[in-house]
Amino acid sequence: MANLEVQIGSLRFKNPVLTASGTFGNGQIMNEIFDVSVLGGIITKSITLKPKEGNPAPRIVETSCGMLNSIGLENAGLDNFLNNILPKIQLLRTNKIASIAGASEEEYGMLAEKLDGKVNGLEINISCPNVKRGGMSFGQDVDSVARITKIVRRKTSLPFIVKLTPNVTHIEDIAKACEENGADAVSLVNTYKGMAIDVRQRISKLGSFSGGLSGPAIKPLALYAVSQVYSKVNIPVIGCGGIMNVVDALEFIMAGATLIEVGSATFREPMAAPKIVEGLKLYCEKEKIGILEKIRGIVNED
Amino acid sequence: MMRRIKDFRATFENKREIASNVFLIEFFLPDFDGSAEPGQFMMLKASSVYDPFLRRPYSIFDCEKERIKVLLKVIGPASSIIAEKQENEKIDILGPLGNGFPILSNKHSVLVAGGIGVAPLWFLAKKLKAENQTFSIIYGEKTATDMSFEIKETFADFSHIVTEDGSKGDKATAPGILPSFFDKLGEKQYVLYVCGPKAMLKETISFGRKRNIPVYVSLEQRMACGTGICFGCSVKTARKPGYLTICKDGPVFSAEDVEI
């Protein structure tokens, strides 16, 4: 029997399959479709300090082998999460990782502090616009990422992951800054910035002009980013971007990922994540691999 | 934990062309217990390759144990792929999803359907008929298709057909005849259910407001998940700031709850 257990800091996962923030709700709805306790963990929809309305419709548009989204972080805010959502998801027997999104660097600290001890871990969504810097995302500025990581480290004892935006020149430098400032892991990639135009109406197909591209269309890009980051940092790397099935998951593990996140695949295949868990078990048995570490990062440039 | 929503490995059974490029398609869903409410929908995966990537939502036109029917209009690659499937071909179908129409049994229900918007209302009419409720279905389309004839045949005296070109029934639009239609029905307690183009929803809602009749609308929007996890299919709330999801909070809403 293969052992799929992995660890981030002190946090143990029964298997390396997580569900990406924003693609799994908060777990309760999906638990009506399958038993989410079979997963390594779930990452909540991003939580902001104050409630956020989100962006005008249309918020999604399908593109070749993928989709663009501009949901705009719609959520009912931290207090609602603590009072109404958390008590319900406590019952799910898997790791609950809260994704947090700040409007300022300080807000990340406040969110981390208020969630300390309440969930199993945090994922820091740094792909939100930094209003002070003209809307460029925090994650595109290495100094800002370093500061946010440091603040969060100071405010929480929970293990935390920083989710990296791929819309940068050297993603490995950003990952390094996370490691140096106390992050327990990095996850990558978040969506690639993109757009689609309605030629007939001469307008953007999204209500808020641009959006984030996800799905199989971005898998080769994401895989390469994981490979680059894996070669530069020693903390666990969580691979994400277009993972649809166990073969995709294995590619990310071979590129260096310790865990993987299943994202927009769930929209198309609600059972994608549990099927990947099963697939990894079968693969390990068939290949006679006791633990996945044996193949982690096995395909590299060196 | 009751698992109500299921991903069925369904089989394409047959299709019938109802109008130009509009098909009534029947699927076999193994283990489907047949319980779904009128207004609920299913997410159909057009292809096993990743393009088109997302599933497409279709209202349930009719269902029974292990069988489901949807009304599909070919408008793009995904609907075209589904329509061109062969008998016995497999297709993944997720559902039933969303909330159905509330049935107010002390009122006379008036169903206002436009074009393929008839799908959830056909199912509702069938249920009202089976429960011996009093109801009327007003069906409007541009020019008469087989659907007009089927409605007349199935719902007989309960149905009223209109066409924009007068090829069958009154030359009118469905919401356009509401004032005279209600005058003929006389004084009763009513509820309106509407599904169709946006202009039709608006006209029906404004009629309902004038006559103080509650209106329920079935809305559509591009969807990614269909289950309420992605927040992609939003509609503005009317009572307070913010949005509701069409897939999870709807697709049926009280007209007073949403901005249309």
Per-residue model confidence as pLDDT tens digits over B124-162: 999 999 999 999 999 999 998 899 999 989 988 888 898
Return the closest-CA partner of residue A163 out of A57, A273, A223, A238. A238
Q: Which of A71, A198, A268 to mutate to test the interface with B (most CBs of B within 10 A)?
A: A268
Structural domain for A129, as ranges: 6-55+71-195+210-295
Tell me, what's the pLDDT at B34? 93
Percent of chain A with pLDDT over 70: 100
Tell me, what's the pLDDT at A132? 75
C-alpha B59: how far from its chain's center?
5
Compute and round to an integer the Cα radius of gyration of chain A. Answer: 18
Residue A4 clears pLDDT 80, i.e. is over it? yes
Contact A92, A37 (CB under 8 A): yes
Contact A122, A98 (CB under 8 A): yes
Q: How far apart are alpha carbons B124 and B36 in whole angstroms? A: 11
* Amino acid at site A192: Y
Mean pLDDT of A46-66: 95
Residue A152 clears pLDDT 80, i.e. is over it? yes
pLDDT band at A158 (very low <50, low <70, confident <90, very high): very high
Q: Is residue A66 part of a domain?
A: no
* Amino acid at site B132: N
CB contact under 8 A, B51 and A64: yes
Tell me, what's the pLDDT at B157? 85
Per DSSP bridges, beta strands B215-218 and B41-44 are unpaired
CB contact under 8 A, A215 and B53: yes
Domains of chain B: 6-97 (2.40.30.10), 108-218 (3.40.50.80)
The total of structural domains in chain A comes to: 1
Question: Which distant-in-sequence residues (6+ apart) come within 8 Å of A249 by Cβ?
Answer: A16, A17, A239, A243, A260, A276, A279, A280
Facing residues of A291 across strands?
A3
Return the closest-CA partner of residue B242 out of A56, A188, A34, A28. A56
Q: Which long-range contacts (CB under 8 A, 24 or more apart) does B130-137 make?
A: B131/B103, B131/B105, B133/B103, B133/B105, B133/B109, B134/B108, B134/B109, B135/B108, B135/B109, B135/B110, B135/B111, B136/B108, B136/B109, B136/B110, B136/B111, B136/B160, B136/B181, B136/B185, B137/B110, B137/B111, B137/B113
Q: Known catalytic residues of A?
A: 128
Q: Is residue A202 part of a domain?
A: no
- Predicted confidence (pLDDT) per residue in A229-264, tens digit: 999 999 999 999 999 999 999 999 999 999 999 999
Tell me, what's the pLDDT at A249? 98
Contact B232, B224 (CB under 8 A): yes
Residue B3 clears pLDDT 70, i.e. is over it? no
CB contact under 8 A, A59 and B94: no
| CA dist B242 → A55, A74, A120, B198 (Å) | 10, 9, 30, 21
Q: Is residue A1 part of a domain?
A: no
Q: How far apart are alpha carbons B153 and B150 in whole angstroms? A: 5
Q: How many CB atoms lie within 10 A of CB B199?
A: 11
Could you tell me the two tokens for B40?
A: 């609920």
- Predicted confidence (pLDDT) per residue in A91-143, tens digit: 999 999 999 999 999 999 999 999 999 999 999 999 988 777 777 899 999 99
Q: Which of B231, B233, B244 to mutate to test the interface with A (most CBs of A within 10 A)?
A: B231
Phi, psi torsion values for A138, nearest 5 degrees? -55, -40
Q: Is residue A28 part of a domain?
A: yes
CB contact under 8 A, B224 and A60: yes
Average pLDDT, chain A: 95
Tell me, what's the pLDDT at B69? 97
pLDDT band at B229 (very low <50, low <70, confident <90, very high): very high
Return the closest-CA partner of residue B42 out of B89, B93, B87, B80. B93
Return the closest-CA partner of residue A150 out of A117, A179, A116. A179
pLDDT band at B240 (very low <50, low <70, confident <90, very high): confident
Residues of A in contact with B243 (CB under 8 A): 53-54, 74
Return the closest-CA partner of residue A131 out of A107, A153, A157, A152. A107
* Amino acid at site B13: E
Q: Which long-range contacts (CB under 8 A, 24 or more apart) does A218-221 make?
A: A218/A66, A218/A189, A218/A191, A218/A192, A218/A242, A219/A243, A219/A248, A219/A251, A221/A166, A221/A189, A221/A192
Residues of B in contact with A215 (CB under 8 A): 50, 53
Mean pLDDT of B194-216: 95
- ipTM more than 0.90? yes
Residues of A in contact with B235 (CB under 8 A): 57
pLDDT band at B2 (very low <50, low <70, confident <90, very high): low
Whether residue B2 lies within 8 A of chain A, CB to CB, comes out as: yes
- What CATH number should be reported for the domain holding residue A171? 3.20.20.70
CB contact under 8 A, B94 and A244: no
Residue B239 clears pLDDT 90, i.e. is over it? no
CA nearest B229 in A: which residue? A25
Contact A140, A190 (CB under 8 A): no
